């Protein structure tokens, strides 16, 4: 996104030092060439994965919109399928069961000794077996086509069981997307360049929340009964078809790994690999001990920081399930508001979160040593808002507090994974990959219980949901404050650079 980052990374380091980090063949390149390459990557990779994630988030959350944007007159899904509030929660939960199970890597590659080959870049992080044996430009669009087709199929369901089965399969299919994108970003960008890029990636989910409801309301209302098809069924058809359409485009646009990308010239490939060579100094070398898969798991599990980040990320993900109920909460706060008004009132919630996420991601790279304190600060602000919501029943005040809470929760989401990546720097590379996978996979388990926090019979105050979130946020504040103190000590001792 910001080619100026390149200058920050090479300042004070000669090109000769970068070229000969591992005693490999020299690749001489200027700062201008590197900046041009980063700009080219930003203009091809980031927009592609941004749209892919936007469509992914719209598809996975479609069930919430067709349920909560409406009553039977406008939406009709809950009536057509005879859905109860409890069944709706189950439909949300089953997606994440498949998502979490299949997100855990089926294989942790043993990285080869550092060398200017594709493996030295692509295997430095954990990867799934499927992605490890395929090309990102084929693997990611292919699973996108699958979930787009599944979304279209949901337009013909006639029973709650059909919804559950398709949601489980959808979760399994989409599970490979986020880890694949994380692997791709880490293969192209230096660690201190990744926070902004990951922030751009996360912003797609924020914007989908802001405008997904408006799009859904427009489709459901505008196409209700057209060709004898209910509006909510048109919603699945249109957005599923859009997903398949963009996936086909991504097949021709999405780049592969630096050393194997067909979108770059040979010169650009050499620069792309060489600019990351310096970061591989702490990776596996000829003299490094190679761990078995089980050995890497044992090392990761023995580290208290692994479990600290698991708990911290579960707090954030669990609290963030609040986003699934924004339309329901807003409708409860403002009474029998129209569908259009309910969806319009959710836009500011996501709009403020979008701005806050962008600012936090930008400064996350600038003051990376203080990420733990920044995360704890956002969680504290969200905690205060959640406690006040439990005590104050003024609808306007509660709405304002929801806006602030959303900003805090979304801002900490991407930053936590970036912080974990830095905090695990002292681990054996293979154990580090396992630890990151555990944080991401186990953290998403919180989606399961989080889906039950706001039952309809608790409307409009939802005391139980906000009380549970308050308790979780309090735990999160303590965890990230401890991690911050520990991380700063490691920095002062020179253990972490």
Residue at which a domain ends, from 254, 274, 290:
290
**pLDDT surpasses 60 at 286:** no
Instruction: Give the up-direction half-sphere exposure of residue 389: CA atoms within 13 A in the CB hemisphere.
Output: 27
The pLDDT of residue 282 = 40
CA atoms of 430 and 125, how far apart (whole Å): 8
Highest mean pLDDT out of 88-102, 318-332, 370-384? 370-384
**pLDDT surpasses 80 at 449:** no
Task: Give whole-number Cα distances, 258 to 19, 108, 488, in Å.
Answer: 16, 20, 33
In this structure, the answer to whether residues 307 and 286 fall within a common structural domain is no
**pLDDT surpasses 70 at 103:** no
Residue 407's CB is within 10 A of a number of other CB atoms, namely 26
In this structure, the answer to whether residues 256 and 327 fall within a common structural domain is no
The residue among 184 and 245 whose pLDDT is bigger is 245
**pLDDT surpasses 80 at 495:** no
**pLDDT surpasses 70 at 337:** no
**pLDDT surpasses 50 at 127:** no
Highest mean pLDDT out of 183-187, 240-244, 335-339, 393-397? 240-244
With cut-offs at 50, 70 and 90, classify the pLDDT of residue 16: very low
**pLDDT surpasses 60 at 116:** no
CA atoms of 370 and 92, how far apart (whole Å): 35
Judge whether 2 lies within some domain. no
In this structure, the answer to whether residues 328 and 219 fall within a common structural domain is no
**pLDDT surpasses 60 at 110:** no
Rounded average pLDDT over 7-34: 55
The residue among 318 and 368 whose pLDDT is bigger is 318
**pLDDT surpasses 70 at 100:** yes
Rounded average pLDDT over 128-136: 59
In this structure, the answer to whether residues 194 and 296 fall within a common structural domain is no
Judge whether 13 lies within some domain. no
Of 42-46, 58-62, 317-321, the range with the lowest mean pLDDT is 58-62
For the chain, what is the mean pLDDT? 78
Residue 87 in contact with residue 160, Cβ under 8 Å?
Answer: yes
The residue among 406 and 20 whose pLDDT is bigger is 406
In this structure, the answer to whether residues 192 and 315 fall within a common structural domain is no
With cut-offs at 50, 70 and 90, classify the pLDDT of residue 126: very low
DSSP 465-476: HHHHHHHHHHHH
The pLDDT of residue 13 = 41
Judge whether 29 lies within some domain. no
CA atoms of 81 and 91, how far apart (whole Å): 12
Residue at which a domain ends, from 275, 290, 305:
290
Residue at which a domain ends, from 259, 290, 321:
290
With cut-offs at 50, 70 and 90, classify the pLDDT of residue 440: confident
Q: What percent of the chain has pLDDT over 90?
A: 24
* pLDDT, tens digit (0-9, with 9 covering 90-100), for 372-385: 999 999 999 999 99
Task: Give whole-number Cα distances, 89 to 65, 82, 84, 102, 416, in Å.
Answer: 13, 14, 9, 21, 27
* Residue 31 tokens, joined: 């700062």
Q: Could you list the residue range(s) of the whole structural domain that residue 223 is in? A: 37-290
Task: Give whole-number Cα distances, 331 to 339, 371, 461, in Å.
Answer: 9, 35, 11
Rounded average pLDDT over 261-275: 84
**pLDDT surpasses 60 at 183:** yes
Judge whether 332 lies within some domain. yes
The pLDDT of residue 114 = 37
**pLDDT surpasses 90 at 312:** yes
In this structure, the answer to whether residues 300 and 286 fall within a common structural domain is no
With cut-offs at 50, 70 and 90, classify the pLDDT of residue 258: confident
In this structure, the answer to whether residues 325 and 286 fall within a common structural domain is no
Rounded average pLDDT over 392-415: 87
**pLDDT surpasses 60 at 95:** yes
Residue 141 in contact with residue 181, Cβ under 8 Å?
Answer: no
3-class DSSP assignment, residue 80: helix
**pLDDT surpasses 70 at 39:** yes
In this structure, the answer to whether residues 307 and 334 fall within a common structural domain is yes
With cut-offs at 50, 70 and 90, classify the pLDDT of residue 147: very high
The residue among 276 and 63 whose pLDDT is bigger is 276
Rounded average pLDDT over 419-433: 75
The pLDDT of residue 339 = 63
Q: What percent of the chain has pLDDT over 70?
A: 77
With cut-offs at 50, 70 and 90, classify the pLDDT of residue 23: very low
Q: What is the DSSP letter of 454?
A: -
* Residue 189 tokens, joined: 């960008």
In this structure, the answer to whether residues 412 and 473 fall within a common structural domain is yes
In this structure, the answer to whether residues 367 and 459 fall within a common structural domain is yes
Judge whether 237 lies within some domain. yes
The pLDDT of residue 45 = 93
* Residue 296 tokens, joined: 């890497």
Residues in the chain: 497
The pLDDT of residue 497 = 52
Residue 457's CB is within 10 A of a number of other CB atoms, namely 6
* Residue 173 tokens, joined: 């299919």
In this structure, the answer to whether residues 350 and 491 fall within a common structural domain is yes
The residue among 31 and 3 whose pLDDT is bigger is 31
**pLDDT surpasses 70 at 279:** no
Write the CATH number for 57.
1.20.1250.20
Judge whether 467 lies within some domain. yes
Judge whether 264 lies within some domain. yes
In this structure, the answer to whether residues 224 and 368 fall within a common structural domain is no
Count up the domains in the chain and report the number.
2
The residue among 185 and 12 whose pLDDT is bigger is 185
With cut-offs at 50, 70 and 90, classify the pLDDT of residue 224: confident
Judge whether 16 lies within some domain. no
């Amino acid at each position: 996104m910001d080619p100026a980052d390149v200058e920050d990374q090479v300042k004070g380091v000669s090109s000769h030092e970068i070229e000969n980090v591992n005693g490999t063949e020299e690749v001489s390149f200027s700062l201008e060439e590197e900046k041009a390459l980063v700009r080219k990557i930003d203009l091809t990779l980031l927009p592609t994965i941004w749209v892919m994630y936007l469509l992914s988030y719209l598809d996975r959350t479609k069930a919430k919109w067709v349920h909560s944007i409406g009553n039977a007159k406008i939406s009709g899904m809950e009536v057509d399928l005879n859905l109860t509030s409890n069944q709706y929660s189950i439909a949300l939960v089953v997606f994440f069961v498949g998502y979490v199970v299949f997100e855990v890597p089926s294989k942790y590659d043993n990285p080869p000794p550092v060398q200017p080959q594709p493996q030295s870049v692509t295997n430095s992080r954990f990867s799934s077996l499927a992605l490890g044996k395929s090309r990102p430009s084929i693997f990611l669009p292919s699973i996108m086509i699958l979930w787009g087709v599944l979304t279209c199929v949901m337009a013909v369901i006639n029973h709650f069981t059909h919804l559950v089965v398709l949601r489980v399969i959808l979760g399994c299919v989409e599970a490979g997307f986020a880890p694949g994108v994380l692997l791709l970003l880490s293969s192209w960008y230096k660690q201190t360049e990744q926070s902004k890029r990951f922030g751009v990636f996360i912003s797609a989910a924020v914007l989908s929340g802001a405008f997904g409801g408006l799009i859904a309301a427009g489709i459901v209302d505008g196409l209700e009964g057209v060709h004898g098809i209910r509006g909510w069924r048109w919603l699945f058809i249109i957005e599923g078809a859009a997903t398949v359409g963009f996936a086909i485009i991504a097949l021709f646009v999405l780049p592969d790994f630096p050393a194997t990308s067909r979108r770059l010239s040979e010169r650009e490939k050499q620069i792309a690999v060489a600019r990351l060579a310096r970061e591989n100094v702490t990776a596996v070398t000829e003299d490094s001990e190679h761990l078995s898969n089980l050995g890497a798991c044992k090392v990761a599990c023995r580290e208290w920081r692994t479990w600290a980040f698991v708990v911290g990320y579960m707090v954030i993900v669990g609290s963030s399930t609040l986003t699934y109920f924004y339309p329901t909460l807003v409708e409860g706060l403002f009474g029998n508001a129209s569908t259009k008004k309910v969806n319009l009132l959710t836009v500011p919630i996501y709009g403020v979160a979008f701005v806050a996420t962008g600012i936090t991601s930008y400064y996350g790279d600038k003051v990376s040593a203080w990420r733990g304190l920044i995360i704890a600060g956002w969680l504290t602000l969200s905690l205060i808002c959640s406690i006040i919501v439990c005590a104050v029943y003024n609808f306007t005040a509660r709405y304002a507090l929801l806006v602030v809470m959303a900003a805090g929760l979304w801002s900490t989401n991407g930053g936590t994974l970036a912080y974990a990546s830095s905090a695990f720097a002292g681990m054996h590379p293979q154990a580090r990959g396992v630890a990151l996978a555990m944080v991401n996979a186990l953290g998403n388990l919180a989606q399961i219980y989080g889906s039950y926090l706001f039952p309809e019979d608790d409307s409009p105050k939802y005391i139980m949901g906000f009380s549970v979130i308050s308790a979780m946020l309090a735990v999160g504040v303590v965890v990230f404050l401890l991690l911050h103190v520990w991380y700063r000590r490691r920095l002062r001792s020179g253990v972490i650079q």
